[in-house]
Homo-oligomer: A and B are copies of this chain.
Amino acid sequence: MVEAIEAKKAGNFTYGMVGGGPGSFIGVVHRAAINLGGSARLTAGCFSQDYAKSLETGRLLGVAEDRIYQTYEEMARCEGEREDRPDFMVVTVPNVSHYGACRAFLEQGFHVMCEKPLTCTTAEARELEALARKNGCLFAVSYVYTGHLMAKEARRLIRDGVIGEIRVVIAEYPQEWLMDLVEGESKQASWRTDPARSGISNCVGDIGSHIENMVAYLTGLKITKLCANLDIVGEGRTLDTNAEILVKFSNGASGCYWCSQVAAGYDNALKVRVFGTLGAIEFEQEKSNYLTLTLKGEPPRLISRGNGYIHDNVKAYNRLPSGHPEGYHEALANLYDQFLLAIAARRAGEEVCEADYDYPGIEMGIDGVRFIEKCVESSQNGAVWVEL
């Protein structure tokens, strides 16, 4: 991608990270994705609440010991005062700490890439938005699946009107991993099912929010109301592990979302189908190098990443030829490439409009938090319809 390469030429980016200590998942992935692009270097971190573990991780990664911190507050303060302060901060801690960490960094004027869901309440999310605007900080929320090239191609086809006016959206995100009560053995399961760390929702918060975001990314449609049934499957649990959600969009289209962590046979199967008056598009995260496009009255076509018929804007993201699979790392790396482009432009003194860059911004983060809140509200009131 020409522009991305230009961006990288512009300078050696550095970053700090909160989270990503021993046993964590997504923090490690963020580092690998950044490495893949080869465009930024980790120089500071607070990798664990346990300082010894944080030190262990930091040393392994070559972070100078005096830049490994006990808390993100300390990290924000100290790094904010350095001349060689990082270009941006990455927040990959459990949900309930997103708000605090982001606020600390934004207050010091750092650009931030934060995991989703952005915060636990819409109020917190809006506060971060205001703070970012006030301090001129760029802000990305790592809805990683929007980084897949075929999601981008699907969005382009939809925006270009290829499938006509959207009438129905069917989306799902089933997983199997919480069928057993693995909270004791899995760090991931432990915090995600714990309201104290996860917030008001587990399943909708973790994966339902990806459905909401992907549909929004692909279609641009706004949800006007929803009706959600959240189930708690699993003895002794207090947060949802399965949910079915009906939605209505502002253009009159209807939608149906299902997410589950107790669905045997599914690893991580985000799948979105968008039906319009002229055709349909289907995208599955686990087959992210492909999408299916069907025009009314014609046979389905299996669109494959890397081929000549892909739109130039999407082709520009290719790292590998067709048939040489890209995956999750590349998707996240694509978010970083865009984020770094924006940072580079800012560093070069240019006017930067975040909407011009193809990474999920803070508005998407806010929409995601509101979606979770409204699903919980609906379900708690008997799965009634609630307005958004």
Contact = CB atoms under 8 A, between A and B. Distances in A.
Interface of A: 5, 8-9, 12, 25, 29, 31-32, 35-38, 60-62, 163, 167-168, 170, 172, 175-177, 179-180, 227, 229, 231, 233, 242, 244, 246, 248, 254-256, 258, 260, 262-269, 273, 275-280, 282, 285-286, 288-289, 292-304, 306-309, 319-330, 382-383, 385
Contacts of A180: 296-297
Contacts of A309: 297-299
B265 A246 contact: no
A16 B180 CA distance: 49
Contacts of A322: 267-268
Given A168-B231, A179-B297, A329-B330, 18 more contacts: A163-B264, A168-B260, A176-B296, A176-B297, A179-B296, A180-B296, A227-B227, A229-B248, A233-B277, A244-B254, A244-B256, A256-B256, A263-B273, A267-B324, A268-B322, A268-B324, A320-B328, A320-B329
Nearest to A303: B299
A321 to B, nearest CB: 7
Nearest to A9: B60
A275 B246 contact: no
Contacts of A304: 267, 299
Contacts of A256: 244, 256, 258
B172 A170 contact: yes
Nearest to A248: B229
Contacts of A36: 32, 35-36, 329
Given A36-B35, A168-B262, A294-B265, A299 B302 contact: yes
Contact of A246 (B32, B170, B246, B278): B246
A293 B300 CA distance: 11
A321 B268 contact: yes
A292 B38 CA distance: 35
Contacts of A255: 244
A179 to B, nearest CB: 5
Contact of A229 (B38, B61, B254): B254
Contacts of A12: 62
A320 B323 CA distance: 20
